[in-house]
A and B are shown apart, each in its own frame.
Chain A
Amino acid sequence: MSRNQSGRSPAGGAVSAIAETAPPAGDLPDWLRDIAAQPPAAPSAPGAPVAETAPSASDLPDWLRNIAAQPPAAPSAPGAPVAETALPASDLPDWLTGALSTPDIPSAEEKPVAPPSTPSDLPDWLQTPDATPGAAGLPDWLRGAEVPAATDAHDGRSHTTEPAAPRGSSDLLSGMDLPEWLRVEPEPKPEPPPLSGRDLDWLTRLGSIAEDETITGVTVATPKLPPPPAPKRTEEQVAALNLLRRLAAEPIPAATPLPLPEPAGALQRIGLERMLSMVLLILIIVTILVPGLFPALETPPVIPGASEIYRQIAALGANDVVLIGYEWDARRVGELRPLEQAVIGQLIAQDVKLILVSTDPQGTLLQFDLLDTLRQAGYRQQGEGYLLLGYKPGGEMALRMVGRDFQTVLRSDYRGDDATGSVLITGVDTGRPIERLNDLSLIIVLADDTPDVQGWMEQVYPQAQTGDRSVSLVFLLPEEAAPIVQPYMRQPGVTALAGRRGALAYAALEQHAGSFDPVIARSIAQQRLATLLFAIVLLFGLAGVGGAALRRRRS
Chain B
Amino acid sequence: MTQDAIVNIVAAVLTLMVLSRIAGDNPLFRIAQYLFVGVSLGLAFVVAYHQALRPAVVALLSAEPPAIWLYGVPLALGVLLLPRITGDQHLSWLANIPLALVFGVGGALAIGGAIIGTLLPQIRDTARTPSGEIGAIIGVVVLVIGTVLTLASFYYTTPPESRSGRMIRGIAMIGHWLIMVAFGFFFAGALQSYLSALVERLNFVLAVVRSFFGA
The reply to whether B200 and A459 form a contact with Cβ atoms under 8 Å apart is no
Task: With a 10 A CB-CB cut-off, give which of B58, B105, B191, B195 has the most chain A CB atoms.
Answer: B195
B contact patch SS: helix
- C-alpha gap A274/B51 in the complex (Å): 44
Query: Cβ of A461 < 8 Å from any Cβ of B?
Result: yes
Residues of A within 8 A of B159 (CB): none
* B193, A499: Cβ atoms closer than 8 Å: yes
Known contacts: A483-B186, A530-B198, A531-B195. The answer to whether A488 contacts B121 by CB under 8 A is yes
- For residue B32, CB closer than 8 A to chain A, the reply is no
Asked if B122 lies at the interface with its beta carbon under 8 angstroms from chain A, I say yes
**Which residue of chain A has its CB nearest to the CB of B207?**
A288
Q: Among the listed B19, B59, B188, which residue makes an inter-chain contact with A281, where contact means beta carbons less than 8 Å apart?
A: B19
Known: A454-B117, A457-B117, A458-B118. A482 touches B47 (CB 8 A): no
Q: What's the Cα separation between A311 and B122 when bound, in Å?
A: 26
Taking a contact as CB atoms closer than 8 A, the residue among B47, B58, B192 that contacts A501 in the complex is B192
- List chain A residues, Cβ under 8 A from B43: 361-362, 365
Tell me the bound Cα distance from A461 to B116 in angstroms: 10
In the bound complex, how far is the Cα of B44 from the Cα of A361, in angstroms? Answer: 5
B118 pairs with A457, CB closer than 8 A: yes
Q: How far does the alpha carbon of A527 sit from the alpha carbon of B195 in the complex, in Å? A: 7
Instruction: Check B199 against A526 for contact (C-beta < 8 Å).
Output: yes
Q: A365-B47, A480-B189, A530-B198 are in contact. Are A459 and B109 (CB under 8 A)?
A: yes
CA distance A335 to B194 in the complex (A): 9
Residue of A nearest to B184 (CB): A483
Q: Nearest CB to that of B120 among chain A residues?
A: A462
A483-B186, A491-B121, A527-B196 given; A416·B55 CB < 8 A: yes
B113-128 interface bits toward A, Cβ cutoff 8 Å, 1 = contact, 0 = none:
1101110011001000
- Contact present for B47 and A499 (CB under 8 Å): no
List, in ascending order, chain A residues with CB within 8 A of B48's CB: 361, 391, 393
**In the complex, A390 Cα to B50 Cα: how many Å?**
10
A335-B197 contact given A365-B43, A393-B52, CB 8 Å threshold:
yes
The answer, among A277, A332, A337, A484, for a CB contact under 8 Å with B186, is A484
The docked-state distance in angstroms from the alpha carbon of A361 to that of B53 is 13
Let me know if A125 is at the binding interface, CB within 8 A. Answer: no
**B206 adjacent to chain A (CB < 8 Å):** yes
Most buried by A among B24, B189, B193: B193
* A193 interfacial by beta-carbon distance below 8 Å: no
A379 → chain B, closest Cβ, in Å?
22
Q: Which residues of A contact B7 (CB under 8 A)?
A: none
List, in ascending order, chain B residues with CB within 8 A of A243's CB.
none
Query: Does A487 interact with chain B (Cβ within 8 Å)?
Result: yes
Nearest opposing residue in chain B for A277, CB measure: B22
Cα–Cα distance between A454 and B109 once the two chains are bound (Å): 12
Contacting residues of chain B (6-32) with chain A, CB-CB under 8 angstroms: 19, 22-24
Query: Does any Cβ of B come within 8 Å of A534's Cβ?
Result: yes
Whether a CB of chain B sits under 8 angstroms from the CB of A89 is no
Q: Does A57 contact B (CB under 8 A)?
A: no
**Bound state CA distance, A459 and B206, in angstroms?**
43
Chain A residues with Cβ under 8 A from B51's Cβ? 364, 390-391, 393, 414
- B164 in the interface, Cβ–Cβ < 8 Å? no
Q: Does B190 contact A (CB under 8 A)?
A: yes
* Bound CA span A455–B122, Å: 15
Answer whether residue A3 sits at the interface, using C-beta atoms and an 8 A cutoff: no
Q: Is B160 engaged at the interface, CB distance under 8 Å to the other chain?
A: no
State whether B109 touches A400 (Cβ < 8 A): yes
| Nearest chain B residue, comparing its CB with the CB of A460 | B117
Partner of B117, one of A284, A458, A527, A531: A458
Nearest CB in chain A to that of B19: its residue: A281
| Complex alpha-carbon distance, A331 and B193, angstroms | 10
User: In the complex the two chains form, what is the Cα distance from A481 to B194 in whole Å?
Assistant: 12
- CB-CB under 8 A from B201, the residues of chain A are 334
Q: Which residues on B sit within 8 Å (CB–CB) of A523?
A: 199
Q: How far is the CA of A516 from the CA of B6 in the complex (A)?
A: 33
Decide if A481 touches B196 in the complex (CB within 8 Å): no
B96 touches A (CB below 8 Å): no
Does B206 contact A487, Cβ atoms closer than 8 Å?
Answer: no
Q: Does B193 lie within 8 Å of A487, measured CB to CB?
A: no
| Known contacts A334-B196, A396-B113, A416-B55; A483 and B189 CB within 8 A of each other | yes
A225 contacts chain B at the CB level, 8 A cutoff:
no
Chain B residues, Cβ within 8 Å of A281: 19, 22, 198
For B35-70 the 0/1 string (1 means CB < 8 A from A) is: 000001001100110011011001100000000000
Which of chain B's residues have a CB closer than 8 A to the CB of A337?
Answer: 200
A154 within 8 A of partner (CB): no
Chain A residues 399 to 445 lying within 8 A of chain B, measured CB to CB, are 400, 412, 414, 416
Instruction: Give Cα distance in the complex from A337 to B203, angstroms.
Output: 14
Find chain A residues with CB under 8 A from B195 CB.
527, 530-531, 534
Contact present for B199 and A284 (CB under 8 Å): yes
- A278 on the interface (CB 8 Å rule)? yes
Question: Chain B residues with Cβ under 8 A from A479's Cβ?
Answer: 189-190, 192-193, 196
> How far does the alpha carbon of A500 sit from the alpha carbon of B203 in the complex, in Å?
14
- Max count, chain B CB within 10 A of own CB: residue among A277, A281, A458: A458
Cα–Cα distance between A447 and B193 once the two chains are bound (Å): 13
Q: Name the B residues within 8 Å of A221 (CB-CB).
A: none
Please, which residues of chain A bring their CB within 8 A of the CB of B122?
487
The chain B residue sitting closest to A329, CB to CB, is B40
> Is A258 interfacial (CB-CB < 8 Å)?
no
- Would A335 and B196 count as touching, CB distance under 8 A? yes
Does chain B have a CB within 8 A of A289?
yes
Give Cα A414 to B47, complex, Å.
10
Question: With a CB–CB cut-off of 8 A, which chain A residues contact B203?
Answer: 288, 526
Is the Cβ of A334 less than 8 Å from the Cβ of B200?
A: yes
Contacts of B193 in A (CB 8 A): 332, 334-335, 478-480, 499
Min CB distance, A531 to chain B, in Å? 6
Q: Choose from B40, B52, B194 the contact partner of A391 (Cβ within 8 Å).
A: B52
A548 at the interface (CB under 8 A from B): no
Taking A364-B51, A396-B113, A478-B193 as contacts, is the C-beta distance between A416 and B58 under 8 angstroms? yes
Closest CB-CB distance, B140 to chain A, in whole Å? 12
CB distance from A388 to the nearest CB of B (A): 11
9 A-B pairs whose Cβ atoms sit less than 8 Å apart in the complex: A274-B24, A395-B106, A414-B51, A458-B110, A458-B113, A462-B116, A483-B188, A498-B189, A527-B195
Query: A390-B51, A499-B193 are known contacts; what are 20 more A-B pairs with Cβ within 8 Å?
Result: A274-B23, A274-B24, A281-B22, A285-B206, A332-B197, A333-B197, A334-B193, A334-B196, A362-B43, A393-B51, A416-B54, A458-B113, A458-B116, A459-B117, A480-B186, A480-B194, A483-B188, A491-B121, A500-B192, A531-B191
Name the 4 nearest CB pairs between A and B, nearest first: A458-B113, A458-B117, A334-B200, A479-B192
